[in-house]
Structure 1
Amino acid sequence: MATSQTPSWREGMSSDNIKGLILALSSSFFIGASFIVKKKGLKKAGASGVRAGVGGYSYLYEPLWWVGMITMIVGEIANFAAYAFAPAILVTPLGALSIIISAVLAHIILRERLHIFGILGCVLCVVGSTTIVLHAPQEREIESVTEVWQMAMEPAFLLYAASVMTAVFILIFHFIPQYGQTHIMVYIGVCSLVGSLSVMSVKAIGIALKLTLSGMNQLIYPQTWIFTLVVITCVLTQMNYLNKALDTFNTAVVSPIYYVMFTSFTILASVIMFKDWDRQSPTQVVTEMCGFVTILSGTFLLHKTKDMVDGPATTLSMRLSKHAEEGGFNGGEGIPLRRQESSRLP
């Protein structure tokens, strides 16, 4: 019985998958910590200048924000390298670990309460991530960046990319001016949709660099530089709207919602472009989906825990804010998903 199980383990966890796993775990730690450091920097910059949430860029002069940005860049580089070794279905869901790190540090440093159900949500994220890791498919053998380009030019992925860009433009030019300050899904929707395209391009660049370092130069192909341009454009867009979301809404709310949407769109894009599930049995696919649903359940609990406040005083404060909003006072500051400062009584 043991001999029949050993090949399936090796098949699922190849040496490249293990490298991708280690890089993804490192990435989650740095990115999770960066959310907190950047949030501290945004709050400090907002106290002396125009907040990012209302279009200000004073955070660019705040050293603490740059520390957080550098930490995030280190995490993204590790994440970038992970995509060169392992499929997106393995790497992307491991971002749930960054949510755990972010939620715990927000509880300790930012004093954003983590309810007992939030802890349960962290456990579910770990369980779901472990399930996906153990059943992840092997990375597809790709011999040239032009092969990735051909995948990106297939009608199914072109239709997905066109749909994403249309949705992003509608959100930016129609919904953000009206609902950006009150509806968290608007900013995060832009980040998540654009992020799914950036991950596909990052994976293409990672494969190109991996092949180049192995002796097959991929830098001579224009497709490599087109993918690079797409990555730069998408990352700058993500950074801009993620800063607005972090400055406007609670960190422990932004992180899980962003993760769920970003992961969902990325896995969808990966399945369409790289056809990861074509090389797996139905049992493996169902198991991975169960792991993903478990992670979603965990992030949902982390999200809802921000509405479960401890103590009658805070509950009364939120109720008073709600009544004030209904009576026409305080604008939108009674919204529970807004920053904690806006829901406190003077």
Structure 2
Amino acid sequence: MGISRDNVHGLTLAVSSSIFIGASFIIKKKGLKKAGATGTRAGLGGYTYLYEPLWWAGMTAMIVGEIANFAAYAFAPAILVTPLGALSIIVSAVLAHFVLKEKLHIFGVLGCVLCVVGSVSIVLHAPQEKPIYSVKQVWHHATQPGFIIYTCIVLILVAVLIVRYVPRYGQTHMIVYVGICSLMGSLTVMSVKAVGIALKLTFSGTNQFKYFETWIFVLVVTVCCLFQINYLNKALDTFNTAVISPVYYVMFTIFTILASVILFKVHLLSKCLTGSHKMDHR
């Protein structure tokens, strides 16, 4: 059974996305180093990297990678596209080893392998989501008590990390910066999903941007992305890229899965109940 042309396009976009995103970590790191040599480092609260063309080249590579990843889902099913996101870890780790001279030891190699194996296992055993036909459906799920509580917990944890732990442990414990990025990232992904649905439906003829809910999701994406970019820069400027990349990927994936389970709990629970009902009749 041959692979379809759409799947080939989707997989090509997904692989390209991983290469761009993985390389963007290295380019941004070099830009941060160059900016830090002439001004206050990002890890110490400086923003001189905003004047560094190399850093902007890295940001451009990351944006191109994210666009390619978004487009890949339009051609190929998620079960084929998602596991390839783990390739960005391999790309950044290998490039960090050779370009930045950040030595990748045996435990680093093992960590990268485990990331890839874990990602593939999660995707292959993930339950299927029911299709969503309106941004209002996502808004309905997002305003349920469970997800509101999750969002409040995330915001409280981020605030505590920023106010209490960044000044004390930001320079010595990468988990502080990575934790902020991962927690905010879980909210980003849920909002991006809503914005993606809005764009898809709008292009198909059903305008979703006439609803205020769509613009709230756009605002959340913007704010969360700014937080992630800021603290990811601090992490890259302070710690080895070969370590940051896999740890960030794992934490980001864990919180994203948790947020997705809470947001779409009705779909997942109905699937589980259906499965258990079938087991009772065997």
TM-score over 0.5 for the alignment? yes
The share of aligned pairs that are identical, in percent, is 71
TM superposition shift of 1:122: 3.5
Give the distance between the partners of 2:244 and 2:160, measured in 1 at CA. Answer: 21
Give the distance between the partners of 2:82 and 2:73, measured in 1 at CA. Answer: 9
Does 1:256 pair with 2:246? yes
Give the distance between the partners of 1:24 and 1:139, measured in 2 at CA. Answer: 20
Match of 1:58 among 33, 48, 58: 48
Does 1:45 pair with 2:39? no
Retained in 1: the 8 A contact 2:13–2:71? yes
Which residue does 2:21 correspond to in 1? 31
Does 1:181 pair with 2:174? no
Task: String of CA shifts for 1:18-66, please: whole Å, max 9, x gaps.
Answer: 8776544432221111000001111111112111111111111111111
Which residue does 2:280 correspond to in 1? none
Give the distance between the partners of 1:20 and 1:138, measured in 2 at CA. Answer: 19
Match of 1:206 among 174, 191, 196: 196
Does 1:146 pair with 2:136? yes
Instruction: Give the secondary structure class of the aligned counterpart of 1:126.
Output: helix
Distance 1:117 1:210, change over 3 A: same
Which residue does 2:214 correspond to in 1? 224
Does 1:246 pair with 2:254? no
Give the distance between the partners of 2:149 and 2:51, measured in 1 at CA. Answer: 41
TM superposition shift of 1:245: 0.6
Between stretches 137-146 and 259-268, larger displacement belongs to 137-146
TM superposition shift of 1:14: 11
Map of 1:182-197 to 2, 5 A cutoff? 182-197=172-187
Give the residue type in structure 1 aligned to 2:23. A
The number of residues matched between the two structures is 272
Task: String of CA shifts for 1:295-342, please: whole Å, max 9, x gaps.
Answer: xxxxxxxxxxxxxxxxxxxxxxxxxxxxxxxxxxxxxxxxxxxxxxxx
Between stretches 82-91 and 48-57, larger displacement belongs to 82-91
Does 1:122 pair with 2:112? yes
TM superposition shift of 1:203: 0.5
TM superposition shift of 1:184: 1.0
Give the distance between the partners of 2:260 and 2:4, measured in 1 at CA. Answer: 19
Give the distance between the partners of 2:210 and 2:148, measured in 1 at CA. Answer: 24
Match of 1:100 among 90, 100, 115: 90
Give the residue type in structure 2 aligned to 1:57. Y
Instruction: Give the secondary structure class of the aligned counterpart of 1:110.
Output: coil
- Using structure 2 for the length normalisation, give the TM-score: 0.85
The structure with more radius of gyration:
1
Give the distance between the partners of 1:20 and 1:162, measured in 2 at CA. Answer: 36
Which ranges in structure 2 are unaligned for 5 or more consecutive residues? 276-282
Give the distance between the partners of 1:81 and 1:96, measured in 2 at CA. Answer: 17
Distance 1:17 1:72, change over 3 A: same
TM superposition shift of 1:257: 1.2
Match of 2:149 among 159, 168, 171: 159
Map of 1:8-19 to 2, 5 A cutoff? none
Which residue does 2:278 correspond to in 1? none
TM superposition shift of 1:247: 0.4
Give the distance between the partners of 1:92 and 1:236, measured in 2 at CA. Answer: 24
Aligned Cα RMSD in Å?
Answer: 3.0
Give the residue type in structure 2 aligned to 1:274. F
Give the residue type in structure 2 aligned to 1:103. A
- Using structure 1 for the length normalisation, give the TM-score: 0.70
Retained in 2: the 8 A contact 1:88–1:270? no
Give the residue type in structure 2 aligned to 1:146. K
Give the residue type in structure 2 aligned to 1:47. A
Match of 1:237 among 227, 232, 235: 227
Give the residue type in structure 1 aligned to 2:192. V
Distance 1:107 1:279, change over 3 A: farther
